[in-house]
Amino acid sequence: MAVNLSPPNPSELYPIAGVRLGITEAGVRKAGRKDLTVILLEAGVSVAGVFTQNRFCAAPVQICREHLAQAAGVRAMLINTGNANAGTGEDGRNRALHSCAALAEKLNVSASQILPFSTGVIMEPLPVERIEAGLDAALADAREDNWLRAAEAIMTTDTVAKAFGKQILLDGTRVSITGISKGAGMIRPNMATMLGFVATDACISPVLLQQLARELAEASFNRVTVDGDTSTNDSFMLMASNKAQHARIDTLDSAGGQALKAALLEVAQKLAQAIVRDGEGATKFIRIQVEGGKTADECRQVAYAIAHSPLVKTAFFASDPNLGRILAAVGYSGIQDLDQRNIDLYLDDVRVATGGGRHPAYLEEDGQRVMRQSEITVRVVLGRGTATDTVWTCDLSHDYVSINADYRS
Amino acid sequence: MAVNLSPPNPSELYPIAGVRLGITEAGVRKAGRKDLTVILLEAGVSVAGVFTQNRFCAAPVQICREHLAQAAGVRAMLINTGNANAGTGEDGRNRALHSCAALAEKLNVSASQILPFSTGVIMEPLPVERIEAGLDAALADAREDNWLRAAEAIMTTDTVAKAFGKQILLDGTRVSITGISKGAGMIRPNMATMLGFVATDACISPVLLQQLARELAEASFNRVTVDGDTSTNDSFMLMASNKAQHARIDTLDSAGGQALKAALLEVAQKLAQAIVRDGEGATKFIRIQVEGGKTADECRQVAYAIAHSPLVKTAFFASDPNLGRILAAVGYSGIQDLDQRNIDLYLDDVRVATGGGRHPAYLEEDGQRVMRQSEITVRVVLGRGTATDTVWTCDLSHDYVSINADYRS
C-alpha cells in the first residue's frame, strides 16, 4: 500500500545507448525469483558513486570504493538481492571479489572494472557459487531496454518497482535519463539497503559527473528517511555513456549543465521519494520544510528531528493534529540558542502556532482536515535567518512494527 | 504490562522530616481523579533541580529555573497532571505564576518560593482557577507519610506508580531517602513529561546538593530512553531537609559523601529505570552497555544510536536475534574513525560478533534464547579505549503505536 506510487511507466524508461541490463534467477536466497542483475557498460561510459556513511559498511561497498579509485574504467555492475554481504568480515570481501573476478573473466576485463552490490540478509555468507552460476544467463539476457525488469529484480520487500525516466534537449540534441531504485526502510527486516542507479547518454566530463553524483545524492537520497536507520549498503551510482551528440558539458555554470542537472535531479528525487512512498507500513507521504534558519544545516537538523520522532510519526498515522509533538521535536533538535518565541508552524496552508504558542485563529478542525490527507507539508519557520531545507518522510504505523517484528523467514 | 515492575512497597517509603505532601482532586482535565499535589518544605530545606534541555521548555520549567535562581528558599512545589502548560507562550507563564502566587499567599511566603510543575496535554491553556480552587484541600491533606499517594497522583498514562526509598547510616545516624517519579514515554500522546522528586533528611551543603542533582540526573534520568523524544517539561528535583543529626556533608570526597551519593543514585536509578519498565507498550527491559571507547561520550553516542533504532527495538519486541541491526546502528552512530574490524558484540553472555563479523562459534539458538528474556543486556566492545557508558531502554511494540496513535480523548 505505497502512498500515491504507481508502477513504472514503461514508455518513460528510455534505453541508454551503451548501457545494457541482464537479469536472471540465481537462487541466492530463494528459488524462482529474479535476484541477479548485471549492468554492462561499453568502454567510454563514465561512472560516479556515492556510498553509505555507515562505518559498518558492507563488503561490496568497500570494494566499490576501491575499484572506483582505480584508473581502469568500470565495465559492469553486479547486483544481487537476498544477501547483503554485510557484517561478514574478511570472508565477505573475498566472496565479493571472487564474484567480480568471475564476471571479469567472462567479459575479458580486469576484476577491478566490476562493481558489486548486494542487498538482503545481514551476517550471512554470500552464496557466491550460485551467483557465479547465474552469470551466463544474466549476460545472455542483456539488452538496453531492460530497465523495468531490472527495477523489479533489485526489489527486496519493496511493494512497487521504482523506475523513472526523462528526456531533454541539449543544443537541440535529445538526451535521455533513466534510473531505478530500491529500498523501503533504510534497513529492511533482513533485506538491507537503498540502491539507486541512474544512467544518461549525455556527454559530460568524468570530474563533473562525480560532483553531480554528490550533489544529486545530497538533494535526493540524502533527504529521505523512513526510520532513521542508515543501511550498511546504501549506494547511488550515476553513469554517463557520452553517446549523445552535443558539446561535452564540463561545468554546471552553463545552460546545458544547469538543464542536465535539473533533469537528473528530477529523476533522482522521484526515485528517492518513491522509497519513502513505499516505506515500511507507510500510509502518508510527508514533506518537512524548515525555513528561516541561520544555515541550511540547522534547518536539516530540525527537519530530521521532526522526521525521526516516533511521536510525530504515530500522530500522522492517526491523523491526529497533536501538533505540540512537532514543537517539542523542534525544541530538542539541538539548536542551543533557539528562541521558541520566534517560531511559527504550518500544516499545509493552516497556521497552527505562532510565537511558540497556539495561533489564536487556529481551529483543530483545520489541522484535522490536513492531517487526513495522504500528502502533507509541515512547514516550520525558525525566524532567525534566511536558510531553508527540506526532507521527506512517512508515518509510523502498526504495519511498520509488524513488518520489522516478523521473524526472518 | 510494565516489565518486572511491582507497585511500590509502602514500608520502604520513609517519611522525610520537614517534607509534607498533600493531594487532591482538582478536576484539571477530568473529574474524579487525584491530579494536584503540593510538596510543603519547612524553612531550611535545600532544593536543587535539573530540567529539560528542550528549547521549547514549558512555562513551569521556565519559572522553576527563575525561582531557583533567586535567593529565597523554596517552600513548596505545586504539581498538576492533565495539562502540561507547554507551547502556551506568555499566557502560559502568567497562568503558572498566578498559581504560584495563590499558593504563596496561603503559606504566607513569596511567590518566588513556589516551584510549579505541570504534565499533560500540550498547547492547551492551564485551568488555573481549578488548580487554585483545589489548594485548600491539598494543604489540608499534607502529611509526611503521603509519598505513595503522591506517586499515584502524579501519574498520567503510567500503568504503575513509581516510588522507592532507602535508608543508610551516616556517622551512626539513620538517614532516609524517598523518591517518586512519573513518565512512560518522554512525551505521552497528550500527557507529557518525566518528573522525578527525591527527598532526604540528610544534612548537606546547598552547593553540593546542586552538584549531586546534576550528577544523579546524568547517571539515571539522562540514561533512559523510550522513544528519544525529550519532553518540554522534564524535571528532576532533589531536596535535603538537613534534619538528620550527622555532621554536614560538604564534599563528595568523604566516606559519608560517597555513601550518601551511592544511596541517592540507587533510588534515582530505580526511579529512572521504572520509567523504562513502564515505557509505552514495553515488553522488554534492555540495558545497553558500550565498552572500549575513547571517551564515555562516544560510548553513550553508540548506546543511544542502538537504543533509538526502530529496527533494533522491533527486533527485541519480536525476540528476533537479527543482530546485524545492532552492528548497523553502531556503524551509523557518528564515530567517524570507527574501525568495524575491532568490534565485538555480546547478548548477555553470548558472543555474537567478533572483528566486525559473525563469531564463528555463535549459534542462532543461543541468541534466540537471550532474546526471549524479559531483561537483556546488549554489550558492545568498541576496541579503541577504556571508556564505558550504559543506557536503559525498552522495545518498540504494536502497543507503542496504538497508545500514541490514539486520538486524544
B398–A contact, CB cutoff 8 A: yes
- What is the Cα B372 distance to its own chain's centre? 27
Whether residue A230 has pLDDT greater than 80: no
Contact A404 B314 (CB under 8 A): yes
**SS3 call for A394:** strand
Q: How far apart are CA B2 and CA A361, in angstroms?
A: 41
| B89 and B52 Cβ atoms separated by less than 8 Å | no
Residues 64 to 103 of A: which have CB under 8 A from any B CB?
Answer: 84, 86-92
Among residues B292, B61, B308, the alpha carbon closest in space to that of A328 is found at B61
Q: How far apart are CA A340 and CA A330, in angstroms?
A: 9
Pick the residue from chain A with its C-alpha nearest to B56: A331
Whether residue B409 has pLDDT greater than 60: no
Q: Which residue has the higher pLDDT, A389 or A322?
A: A389
When pLDDT is cut at 50, 70 and 90, the band that residue B368 belongs to is very high
Whole-number pLDDT of residue B355: 86
Are B167 and B58 contained in the same domain?
yes
The pLDDT tens digits for B248-306 are 999 999 999 999 999 999 999 999 999 989 888 889 999 999 999 999 999 999 999 99
Whether residue A25 has pLDDT greater than 90: yes
Pick the residue from chain A with its C-alpha nearest to B407: A320
The residue from B276, B308, B334 where one domain ends is B276
The pLDDT tens digits for B129-154 are 999 999 999 999 999 999 999 999 99
Contact A86 B56 (CB under 8 A): no
Lowest mean pLDDT among A4-18, A118-132, B172-186: B172-186
Residue A376 placed within a domain:
yes
Find which of A314, A338, A359, A395 to mutate to test the B interface (most B CBs within 10 Å of its CB). Answer: A314
Instruction: Look up residue A371 and give its three cell numbers.
Output: 492531517
Indicate the Cα dihedral angle A126, A128, A130, A131, nearest 10°.
100
- In angstroms, what separates the C-alpha of B221 from chain A's closest C-alpha? 16
Give, as one character, the DSSP assignment of residue B213.
Answer: H
The pLDDT tens digits for B67-107 are 999 978 999 999 999 999 988 888 999 999 999 999 999 99
Ramachandran region, residue B199 (left: φ > 0; alpha: ψ -120 to 50; beta: rest): beta
Q: What percent of chain B has pLDDT over 90?
A: 72
Are B337 and B256 contained in the same domain?
no
User: What is chain B's mean pLDDT, rounded?
Assistant: 91
Are A223 and A302 contained in the same domain?
no
Are B311 and B342 contained in the same domain?
yes
The residue from B276, B306, B339 where one domain ends is B276
Contact A401 B339 (CB under 8 A): no
Residue B208 placed within a domain:
yes
Residues of A in contact with B320 (CB under 8 A): 189, 405-408
When pLDDT is cut at 50, 70 and 90, the band that residue A228 belongs to is low
A406–B contact, CB cutoff 8 A: yes
Pick the residue from chain B with its C-alpha nearest to A90: B357
Contact B357 A87 (CB under 8 A): yes
- Burial code (b: 16+ CB inside 10 Å, e: under 16) for A55-89 equals bbbbbbbbbbeebbeeeebbbbbbbbbbbbbbbbb
Beta strands (DSSP E) in B122-267 are 162-170, 173-182, 195-200, 224-225, 235-240
Q: Which residues of A are catalytic?
A: 193
Are A95 and A228 contained in the same domain?
yes
Residues 208 to 267 of B: which have CB under 8 A from any A CB?
Answer: 227-232
Are A228 and A327 contained in the same domain?
no
Averaged pLDDT, A196-215: 96
- In angstroms, what separates the C-alpha of A80 from chain B's closest C-alpha? 18
Among residues B343, B307, B340, B312, the alpha carbon closest in space to that of B326 is found at B312
Q: What angle do CA B360, B362, B365 make, to 5 degrees?
A: 150
Are A266 and A352 contained in the same domain?
no
Contact B332 A230 (CB under 8 A): yes
Pick from A320, A329, A336: CB nearest B407: A320
Q: How far is CA B165 from CA B6, B181, B235, B271, in A?
A: 14, 12, 19, 10
Whole-number pLDDT of residue A188: 36
- In angstroms, what separates the C-alpha of A136 from chain B's closest C-alpha? 31
Are A395 and A315 contained in the same domain?
yes
Q: How far apart are CA A216 and CA A236, in angstroms?
A: 9
Averaged pLDDT, A372-380: 96
Number of separate helices (H) and strands (E) present in chain B: 11, 16
Are B265 and B293 contained in the same domain?
no
Are A168 and A71 contained in the same domain?
yes
Residue B202 placed within a domain:
yes
Are A289 and A273 contained in the same domain?
no
Whether residue B208 has pLDDT greater than 50: yes
Contact A229 B325 (CB under 8 A): yes
Residue B1 placed within a domain:
no
Contact A55 B407 (CB under 8 A): no
Whole-number pLDDT of residue A243: 97
The residue from A261, A277, A293 where one domain ends is A277
Whole-number pLDDT of residue B406: 64
- What number of C-beta contacts closer than 8 Å exist between A and B? 233
A311–B contact, CB cutoff 8 A: yes
Are A208 and A345 contained in the same domain?
no
Largest CA distance in chain A: 72
Residue B231 placed within a domain:
yes
Q: How far apart are CA A92 and CA A85, in angstroms?
A: 6
Residue B215 placed within a domain:
yes
Residues of B in contact with A356 (CB under 8 A): 56, 87, 89
Helix, strand, coil abundance in chain A, percent, nearest 5: 35, 25, 40
The pLDDT tens digits for A254-283 are 999 999 999 999 999 999 999 989 888 889
Q: How far is CA A74 from CA A46, A138, B375, in A?
A: 7, 18, 50
Residue B44 placed within a domain:
yes
Please count the structural domains in chain B: 2
Contact A358 B123 (CB under 8 A): yes
Whether residue B357 has pLDDT greater than 70: yes
Q: What is the CATH number of the domain that holds A327?
A: 3.10.20.340
Domain coverage including residue B326: 285-405
User: What is chain A's mean pLDDT, rounded?
Assistant: 91
The pLDDT tens digits for A144-158 are 999 999 999 999 888
Q: What is the CATH number of the domain that holds A129?
A: 3.60.70.12
- In angstroms, what separates the C-alpha of B314 from chain A's closest C-alpha? 5
Backbone angles phi, psi at A122, to 5 degrees: -95, 150
Q: How far apart are CA B239 and CA A142, in angstroms?
A: 75
Residue B4 placed within a domain:
no
Residues of A in contact with B399 (CB under 8 A): none
Whole-number pLDDT of residue B228: 67
SS (H, E, C) A164-223: EEEEEEECCEEEEEEEEEECCCCECCCCECCEEEEEECCCECHHHHHHHHHHHHHCCHHH
Averaged pLDDT, B336-362: 92
Instruction: Look up residue B290 and give its three cell numbers.
Output: 558500550
Ramachandran region, residue A85 (left: φ > 0; alpha: ψ -120 to 50; beta: rest): left
